[in-house]
Amino acid sequence: MAITPINGSDSKPSWFTPKRLLIIFCVINMVNYVDRGAIASNGVNGSLGTCTESGICTSGTGIQGDFNLNNFEDGVLSSAFMVGLLVASPIFASLAKSHNPFRLIGVGLSVWTFAAAGCGSSFNFWSITLCRMLVGVGEASFISLAAPFIDDNAPPAQKTAWLAMFYMCIPTGVALGYVYGGLVGSYFNWRYAFWGEALLMLPFAVLGFVVKPLQLKGFAYANPSNALTTVEATDPVTGDGSDVDDVVIASDETTKSSAFSKLSNQFTRFSKDMKVLLLDKVYVVNVLGYISYNFVIGAYSYWGPKAGYNIYHMSNADLLFGGITIVCGILGTLSGGFILDNMNATISNAFKLLSGATFLGAIFCFSAFCLRSLYGFIALFAVGELLVFATQAPVNYVCLHCVKPSLRPLSMAMSTVSIHIFGDVPSSPLVGILQDHLKNWRITALILTAVLFLAAGIWFIGIFLNSLDLSNEDDGDQVTLINRANMKPLLEENRNEEVDAPVEV
């Protein structure tokens, strides 16, 4: 469907097609997680210097060796990005209601690029921690807005499969990061790994500003030269405006409003949207299960190579864990998406897949760490990871489809913030503390893996909840007096039906 903007902008179709959008977003997501894998790799993360009883000492390597970090500080470093992500994600999700979401992604990727370069130029623990926080700020806009764009433009019968392709880049990126960090750290220096990531991301940051911006379903924004104001809509039937979303209109009065008034309106709207999410039992149960799941996955991704090196004396732990995660991440994530589509993608079926796959995966992973044989461990752990990664597409499908379109960015933002702030952020330093106390990586790994059973139990509860797919609900209460066409995705123009006449209001 071709849409001509009312605000006088060029009606020429965007360079993007749905498949191009998916590919580019997948690459960006992969670079994000290459960074996560690289900082956890033995080549970049490194180790402290050691001294033998005879007095022979070896110098430390990587970040931990250069900055002389203990395990707790090392774990904090892996989680520092979440400070920026926590603060910036709700902000970007709220700004999407008044600013073009695609341009917001460009802003975020620009911050990410400069922050990654800063990590490579850091000179102590606090400087690299600050840069890691800014990496989180940069990532915030992308994680909040990318999935809604993909869901808007995926074929109706393949929505979960397209989400699976996007989230497949998480384990793949982390795994490639292990390999990338190991190789760069071994042959050059850990700093070059971060500089290389910044160069990889730079073209996509530029792309976010130079191409024609895309539009997101459920949001309306006018010409940025016009001021926007928020007023409460009134239901034309009941006359009650208490349950109706804000109406965004262009008004000359906005130019006279104070900055405090605008901030107050934004906060009021954010509070109202947050209340809707927190009262949604389906959303809350889904996120609670996701938090437990991510607690384990986050610690696996950070401590996995070091644990494997100590338990099974793997000389090539980075490459081995990277290889297992790449294969299992790709196959598991894609399988989860395609299975849910073939089961008939519903929220109830998604919970069935989430609980079943996580429970079986937990059994295999727990059994793997009980074995003494390296080859037995690899076989069982690979099957366990295959099952665990099958949850990636279904869990995000629930986040997108249990809320109406206008709440999707905030739904994704708060889900991501929650799984990190309550999941992998505390898990990395807590596992570090646990290991410092137990001094036995096998027992530490078994205790950590047991948390997967909790995730499976929480998601099992979701099967019995009264779930309703709201993703196609018409946000008729949220209208724009400037450009009604903005309520539809721009990539509709690439679909079969085409309308040549401009859209009139």
Nearby residues of 241 by Cβ (< 8 Å), 6 or more positions away = 232, 233, 234, 235
Tokens at residue 76, please? 């904090």
339 neighbors 353 (Cβ within 8 angstroms): yes
Q: Is 242 exposed, middle or buried (0-12, 13-18, 19+ CB in 10 A)?
A: exposed
d(C-alpha 385, C-alpha 444), whole Å:
18
One-letter identity of residue 400 = L
Domain ranges of the chain: 16-47+61-217, 277-472
d(CA 344, CA 87): 36
Burial class (CB in 10 A: 0-12, 13-18, 19+), 245: buried
Contact of 92 with 108, CB cutoff 8 Å? yes
Alpha carbon 59 to chain centroid, angstroms: 36
Give Cα 72 to chain centroid, integer Å.
24
CB atoms within 10 A of CB 189: 15
| Cα-to-chain-centroid distance, residue 480 | 30
Task: Encode the chain (505 residues) as per-residue pLDDT tens digits.
Answer: 333 333 334 444 556 677 788 888 889 988 988 888 788 776 776 666 666 666 666 666 777 777 777 777 777 777 787 788 888 887 887 777 767 777 888 888 999 999 999 988 888 888 888 888 899 888 888 887 888 888 877 787 777 888 888 888 887 787 788 788 878 877 888 888 889 989 999 988 888 787 766 666 655 544 444 333 333 343 443 444 444 444 444 444 544 456 666 666 667 777 788 888 888 899 999 999 999 999 998 888 778 777 877 887 766 666 676 677 778 878 888 888 888 888 887 888 999 999 999 999 999 999 998 888 888 888 899 899 899 989 988 998 898 888 888 788 888 888 888 888 888 778 888 888 888 888 888 899 899 999 999 999 999 999 998 877 776 665 544 433 334 333 344 454 444 443 444 443 3
- For 435-477, give the secondary structure using H, E and C: HHHHCCHHHHHHHHHCHHHHHHHHHHHHCCCCCCCCCCCCCCC
Does this chain's domain 16-47+61-217 share its CATH topology with 277-472?
yes
How many beta carbons lie within 10 A of that of residue 129, not counting itself?
A: 19
- List the structure tokens of 68: 């002389």
Q: What is the pLDDT of residue 414?
A: 86
H or E stretch at 283: helix 281-312
Class of 277-472 in CATH: mainly alpha
pTM of the model: 0.70
Three-state secondary structure call for residue 115: helix
- Range 312-342 burial, b when 16+ CB lie within 10 A, else e: bebeebbbbbbbbbbbbbbbbbbbbbbbbbe
The CATH fold of domain 16-47+61-217: Growth Hormone; Chain: A; (1.20.1250)
The whole-angstrom separation of Cα 328 and Cα 347 is 24
